[in-house]
A and B are shown apart, each in its own frame.
Chain A
């Protein structure tokens, strides 16, 4: 790997701007995501920062089953995010639809919806109902190892 590539990879690893997408979650995972920014976990120490627009994002934190109504919006958000963009499926619903497996309104899980628009998308699964903030940080670390 050349010096320029190493610098680029370093930048990508040390500065992860995330955009939070609720695609039909009960709000439990969302509360745990907000926990990450609190003094106890303080993920800004690792360069992780919540941003207001998907066009600024390096990672999408998607919570919820992805309902039929919100499916096209989730795909649009992924399309808007500059690549490389890592998708984090946070919580049991986002990973596998959880208790909503046979629900009429479920279009998910997240990986299926995202891979419809980008078969090569990088997706990280963080299961749990809700997953602990520590689990999310571990997921981010594992995702960064793939870069």
Chain B
């Protein structure tokens, strides 16, 4: 059983998160297309994109050389794979440790932190602005997202993903319900989706820091982004909506919950325009953070 667990923890993070991420990336584009009354891309589109990107060489490498150019995408992917390992491990194998939800939170934030640090002082104005916006957004949505996870931890009694999953549907309690709504907005910013895609604003700052990457490095970042698409809803479902139960019906219900959270992300993305950086900061610092803090107080009081 231990060997199976270890194999599961090695295989799941990469292949399953990758496969689910690529599927959700297609679903995102398909749902977006249907909202626009378009047909949308075929199911194999993300696979074709990934193969194409891996088969292309980067146009030119500036600032720091080849090693640093590939290091950031590789590290980003590694951190997200480890986050996937913890999340899938907690969901399927009940592998856990005290405070693993905090570890997952930090690992999911790692790609944004790396991009901000690496490109903060880039000579390319668009890249530098993108990195600064990423850092600013990170400082804005990070604290409320962490607090919402702590709300669930306080309600479940322990900040551990398995314990929260076993505690059942936490959103039945008022503080967790509000924390869940706050965490959806924070996850939207974490994934860089509209209305919080200010760090990559294509038509404004030409994809920001991502604009310097092409070929295989971009393929790694593309895969990282797809995996994040798979893990953000998984984190919210595991923490707030309960884990996998026993029996086919329970598993089906879990899948429906997972896809429903993801479709909510896509709907928010498609019904909101991109907001200004200062609006995003105000929204999180003066709106979401106080609400999340209040819910944490209520949860600690046992309400």
Residues of chain A having any CB pair with chain B under 8 Å: 7-8, 10-12, 14-15, 17, 38-39, 42, 44-45, 47, 51-53, 55-56, 58, 79-84
Q: How far is the CB of A9 from chain B (nearest CB, A)?
A: 9
CB–CB B59/A39 < 8 A: no
CB–CB B211/A53 < 8 A: yes
Given A39-B36, A53-B211, 19 further pairs, Cβ under 8 A: A8-B52, A11-B48, A11-B50, A12-B52, A12-B55, A14-B44, A14-B48, A15-B45, A44-B29, A44-B33, A45-B40, A51-B202, A52-B203, A53-B202, A55-B218, A56-B207, A56-B214, A56-B218, A79-B59
Q: Tell me which of A10, A38, A84 has the highest count of chain B C-beta atoms within 10 A of its own C-beta.
A: A10
23 A-B interface contacts by CB (under 8 A): A8-B52, A11-B50, A12-B52, A12-B55, A14-B44, A15-B45, A15-B48, A39-B38, A42-B33, A44-B29, A44-B33, A45-B38, A45-B39, A52-B201, A53-B202, A53-B211, A55-B214, A58-B52, A79-B59, A79-B60, A82-B56, A82-B58, A82-B214
Q: Which residues on A sit within 8 Å (CB–CB) of B54? A: 11
Q: Which residues on B sit within 8 Å (CB–CB) of A7? A: 51
B206 at interface by CB-CB < 8 Å: yes
Interface string of B200-222 (1 = CB under 8 A from A): 11110011001111110010000
CA distance A79 to B218 in the complex (A): 17
CA distance A6 to B260 in the complex (A): 37
Q: How far is the CB of B25 from chain A (nearest CB, A)?
A: 12
CB–CB B33/A51 < 8 A: no
Q: Which residues on A sit within 8 Å (CB–CB) of B33? A: 42, 44
Interchain CB contact (< 8 A) of B51 among A8, A39, A81: A8
The residue on B at minimum CB distance from A7 is B51
List which B38-72 residues lie within 8 A (CB) of chain A: 38-42, 44-45, 48-52, 54-60
CA distance A11 to B36 in the complex (A): 26
